[in-house]
Structure 1
Amino acid sequence: MSSPLQSSARPALTIVGSINLDITATASRLPSPGETVGGAVLRQQPGGKGANQAVAAARLAGSSRMVGAVGQDDAGRNLLSAMASAGVDTSSIAQVDAPTGTALVLVDSDGENQIVVCPGANGSVALDGVTFGADEAVLCQLEVDQELVLETARRTPGFFALNAAPAAPLIPELLERCDLVIVNETEYALIPALKNAPLVAVTYGGDGSAIFENGERVAEAPAVRVTDIANTIGAGDAFCAALVLALRSGLEHSHALAVANAVGADAVRDPASQPALKTLEHYIEATRPAAAAGSPATK
């Protein structure tokens, strides 16, 4: 019997969400309020939580689809080209009369960051002409309007996942329609409604990740130790894409978490917000011995 990743005629994962140009300054340390820190290195690169997840999914599974919006400017055209070259289907990305979304990012030598987002065209994302198949997994985040996310969930007949970031109170119907919610430990604490949600994955940085069913911790996986951290910005997005793909491929919960942790570890070693990744199958095989050992919380 083929897995969902193999049997679907559509891309392995469709992402509805944000597309940004990341303008990043890397300095020895982050400034305090009112302080200027010199000697930084400036770079521009593709970003946005939605686009990051779409590119990660394409690199892991060979294909993905992005539903979003960019401006009719050079930044928008460059971002479309970058996503397409990574294997993302960009046919559902609108080019609108608004500036392409931009994120201003400060990163220190340890990879810690501060981010200010100017949403621009992301405020114009719509589902006009977009359909989702019953065998299609869909992943959203909260960098676009939550009403749009809810409409996406309503239209998704198959698996719907939400990366509830940035943290915000969730519309009750949206939470009810989620097959999976993914958050970090801070977001988990800031959204009390998640404590009793059917299926929630939580990341804990150096302490790994866990899955909760109706508030009960049912699976966990340790973090992969990384000493050469280059950038933490895209790691959470790569984790989200990997976890959805791993669960959809039929892996049990602790193995899927181990796969996503390994993908996240590779992501932080790469200075790009859309890091180079190996195939999902590579990470599945690389984590199989650890997953086979199991843990008391393994499901």
Structure 2
Amino acid sequence: MRRNRVVVVGSTNMDLVASVPRPPAPGETVLGTAFTTTPGGKGANQAIAAAKAGADVVFVGAVGDDTFALDLRQALVDAEVDTENLREVPGPSGVAAITVDADGGNAIVVVPGANAQLTTLTDADLQAIADADVLLCQLEIPLDTVVAAARHAAAHDTVVMLNPSPVRPLPDALLAAVDVLVVNQTEAWQLGRDVLAAVPHVVTTLGADGVRYRTHQLLQSIPSPTVDAVDTTGAGDAFAGVLACEWGAEPLAALIFAGAAGALATTRRGASVSSPTRAEIDALVTAWP
């Protein structure tokens, strides 16, 4: 079975992850229990998740000219993501400072770095988008670039899937191009009903409670498999990437598959490294009653 051709236009960051017994209060210092550096960024995380699930993935993004850049690019290459459209720009790569508490919850501060310089799309970028089945975007890069990518995709019958994180007001030109909006509960509340109503397919992730899927004709709740979660970092990205891989004529089947991927991602620490393989997702879906 042919999997989707997915183009991800988005961010890549080095995640600086501190494990803590509990989140620090404002002005408080908390002793951590572990520290790791892991390639991440919502765009790269989603691209890797889609590729590991079987999609043919092209990543459009930017890294800096620092030492992090080599590891960020290699993480994509190792997942068999096409990096021909990953450009190098002067200055630092993006970074994310992340704390993960004993319950698996996380708090994240992102410094865009090179991602902020992704302000134009090349002819090669535009061609890749036009040739894709699905364009997947987030909001860790300049909004004008997301709008340009989405409008070009819509003009060439490429499905536009948007994960509007971090949340910001969405311009009408972007909303008009989006086919599938993937949000968590907080993002859904922040965007508001009018924005959600403007999109044909709205997928709201509910953590351990699963997923809510709405179209103009349907409202469906899909439960999540029960797993032993240790770190929720990257689970939403795994879900979005796998959903882009699977999206097509059977949205509910795609949502079940993506939900299993998101659940599996919580059983491992880290972001992109926590994305499961297709075989692992298949096994969980098959075993799930």
Normalising by structure 2, report the TM-score.
0.90
CA offsets, 1:49-81, max 9 Å, x none?
A: 000001111111153111000001110111101
User: Of 260, 265, 278, which residue of structure 1 is paired with 2:263?
Assistant: 265
> Which residues of 2 match residues 4-23 of structure 1 at below 5 A?
5=3, 12-23=5-16
Amino acid at match of 1:204: L
Where does residue 32 of structure 1 map in the other structure?
25
What residue in structure 2 maps to residue 149 of structure 1?
146
2:253 paired with 1:283: no
2-side partners of 1:288 and 1:175: how far apart?
36
Shift of 1:136: 2.7
Give how far 1:194 is off. Answer: 1.1
- Matches of 2:6 and 2:266, distance apart in 1: 22
Q: 1:87 aligns with which of 66, 69, 80?
A: 80
Q: Does 1:239 pair with 2:239? A: yes
Give % identity: 36
Show CA shifts across 1:277-296 (max 9, x none): 121x76357536879xxxxx
Q: Cα–Cα, structure 1 residues 150 and 39, in superposed 2: closer, same or farther, change >3 Å?
A: closer
Task: Indicate if the aligned counterparts of 1:246 and 1:256 stay in contact, CA closer than 8 A.
Answer: yes
In structure 2, stretches of 5+ residues that fail to align are none
How far the C-alpha of 1:86 sits from its partner, in A, is 1.2
Q: CA RMSD in A?
A: 1.9
Counterpart mapping for 1:1-299 below 5 A: 3=2, 5=3, 12-61=5-54, 63-125=56-118, 126-129=120-123, 130=125, 131=127, 132-156=129-153, 157=156, 158-192=158-192, 193-214=195-216, 217-227=218-228, 229-248=229-248, 250=249, 252-274=250-272, 275-279=274-278, 283=281, 286-287=284-285
**Structure 1: gaps spanning 5 or more residues:** 292-299
* Superposition deviation, residue 230 in structure 1: 2.3
Q: CA contact under 8 A between 1:210 and 1:217: conserved in structure 2? A: no
* Residues 20 and 47 in structure 1, CA contact (< 8 A), matched pair in contact too: yes
CA-CA distance at 1:200 after TM superposition: 0.7
1:147-178 deviation digits (Å, cap 9, x = unpaired): 11000011112111101111111101101101
Give the conservation status (yes or no) of the 8 Å contact 1:161–1:180. Answer: yes
CA–CA separation in structure 1 for the residues paired with 2:52 and 2:64 = 25
User: What is the rounded CA distance, in whole Å, between the counterparts of 1:272 and 1:212 in structure 2?
Assistant: 30
- Normalised by the length of structure 1, the TM-score is 0.88
Shift of 1:39: 3.8
**C-alpha contact (below 8 Å) 1:26/1:41 kept by paired residues:** yes
Task: Find the residue that maps to 1:87 and give its secondary structure.
Answer: coil
- Kindly state the Cα deviation for residue 134 of structure 1 after the two structures are TM-superposed: 4.2
- Residue 46 of structure 1 aligns to which amino acid in structure 2? P
Quote how far apart the aligned CAs of 1:199 are.
Answer: 1.1
CA contact (8 A) 2:77 2:83 kept: yes
Tell me the SS of whatever aligns to 1:90. Answer: coil
Q: Alpha-carbon deviation of 1:237?
A: 0.4
- Tell me, yes or no, if the aligned pair for 2:7 and 2:132 is still in contact at 8 Å: no
User: Larger deviation: 120-129 or 14-23?
Assistant: 120-129
Q: Distance in 2 between matches of 1:259 and 1:180?
A: 16
